[in-house]
A and B are shown apart, each in its own frame.
Chain A
Amino acid sequence: MSTLCQLYSRFKKLIYILLLCIGIPGVVVASIQKGNVFPSLDGFNLEGTLPEDMKGKIVLVDFWASWCVPCRDSFPVLDEIYQKYRDQGVEIIAVSVDKNEKAYHKFLKRYAPTFPIVRDVEQKLVAEVKIAAMPTSFLLDKEGVVRFVHEGFYRNKTGGEYVEEIESLIRETSEDNKK
């Protein structure tokens, strides 16, 4: 026991460095956070058609997958929000991270969303954004800055939060336009 203690006190610093080195690769930090500019969606070879004019619009970017159960709950809510706010300069873009094309199309056929859908086939965008949960959505202001982030979708909570946040951004935009 005393030999172990001697060894520990002798190599204490080295042990700490080794433990740190082993731990570093396991740490995952989301790269896009509130206040960051969201990357342009054009450079990621996304499958599907992006809306033509997103400049000056409030954009909700939602990362989803056909195998993600809360995503199934989120789609009707997102559709409702899109129908309500699309004329007020709000755009919703749902980015699928599905690898399985068949499951992707089956999901879309079942939920038939009216908002634009694209698929991140190579998972480049999602790796760049580095989301921490499925689904994750980013609400961007007219400048493309991330203002709100939602990790997961909670049936009785997230939909209401989207509405509040979108309305606050609409008010902000209309006040800016008046100036």
Chain B
Amino acid sequence: MLRVVSILGMILGSFFLTACTTVEPWQRGNLADYAMQPDRDPLYNVMSEHIYFSREASAGGRGVGGGGCGCN
């Protein structure tokens, strides 16, 4: 009996684990706002990418060609 109750408890409890919810297509007004765009400022993007890959000294950075020396 205890086993059945614990199994049922786990199954019911699993419903509360579903923290993720789906934003329906008609509820995406705020997400579609210009201010929500991560790439709304192209100049800022170029500058920050340049700084990022120079500081990280990584090959290529974020899709930018180069060796990470910051000299391009």
Please give the residue numbers on chain A whose beta carbons come within 8 Å of chain B beta carbons, in ascending order: 14, 17-18, 21-22, 25-26, 28, 63, 65, 67-69, 97-100, 123, 126-127, 130-134, 136
Contacts and interface: CB of A to CB of B under 8 A. Distances in A.
A67 B29 contact: yes
B40 interface: no
Interface in B5-38: 7, 10-11, 14-15, 17-18, 20-22, 24-29, 32-33
A18 B11 contact: yes
Interface of B: 7, 10-11, 14-15, 17-18, 20-22, 24-29, 32-33
A97 B22 contact: no
A131 B26 contact: yes
B32 A68 contact: yes
A171 B8 CA distance: 58
Give 10 nearest A-B pairs by CB, closest first: A67-B32, A97-B26, A21-B14, A126-B26, A67-B29, A18-B14, A134-B25, A25-B18, A133-B25, A22-B14
A14 B7 contact: yes
24 contacts: A14-B7, A17-B11, A18-B10, A21-B14, A22-B18, A25-B18, A25-B21, A26-B18, A26-B22, A28-B24, A67-B28, A67-B29, A67-B33, A68-B32, A69-B32, A97-B26, A98-B29, A99-B29, A100-B29, A123-B26, A123-B27, A131-B25, A132-B25, A136-B25
